Amino acid sequence: MGRTHPIIDESLRRFIEAQHVFFVATAPLSGDGHVNCSPKGMDAFRILGPAEVGYLDYTGSGVETIAHVRENGRLTIMFCAFEGRPNILRLYGTGRVIEATEPSFAALAGHFAPQAPPRAIILLDVERITDSCGFGVPLYDYRGERDQLVSWAQKKGEEGLRAYEAQKNALSIDGLPGLRRE
């Protein structure tokens, strides 16, 4: 049966840190807008406190999470056990975006080991933590991280990444503001 947890305790920490992938879900306020669910990996997730977590947000073709979090703050992060004992863990709360160009980014970046230049850190002030059985989640064997994002970012270089972000990450697919860079 599912349980609610008051904080990220040591048991939950061990479960989270053992996962190779997590999923981020957001939605705009508009009922006509697109709900977004994004898989994340590359050892990007960190537990910053008993009720605060964050992850590195790498450059991508869209900017939905950033746009939605900026608009309304709603963010859910989900972990599924694909190996070992079945479990699904969800962290619900209010998100914040810290872009790589913001002064507070440097202090937070020390908690992470970036594999490519991140465009932002997404923080979540955790308000609710629940788990559920995960009996329906299939078993998968982890084989490693993909290297395409790292290679792509290296080929683009810092100037190329910023140009790409200016072109592709200024607005969400629903027209909400994304990255604030010029």
Q: What percent of the chain is modeled with pLDDT above 70?
A: 99
pLDDT at 8: 98
Judge whether 29 lies within some domain. yes
Domain range holding 11? 3-168
Question: Does 182 map to a domain?
Answer: no
Q: What is the CATH number of the domain that holds 62?
A: 2.30.110.10
Is 126 within a domain? yes
User: What's the pTM?
Assistant: 0.96
Domain-embedded: residue 174: no
pLDDT in tens, 27-63: 999 999 999 999 999 999 999 999 999 999 999 999 9
Q: Is the pLDDT of residue 2 over 80?
A: yes
Please report the pLDDT score of residue 108 as a whole number: 97
Structural domains counted in the chain: 1
Whether 39 is covered by a domain: the verdict is: yes
Domain contains 144: yes
Residue at 26 is within a domain: yes
Summary mean pLDDT of the chain:
96
**At residue 181, does pLDDT exceed 80?**
no
The C-alpha atoms of residue 27 and residue 104 are separated, in whole angstroms, by 26
Residue 182 banded pLDDT, cuts 50, 70, 90: low
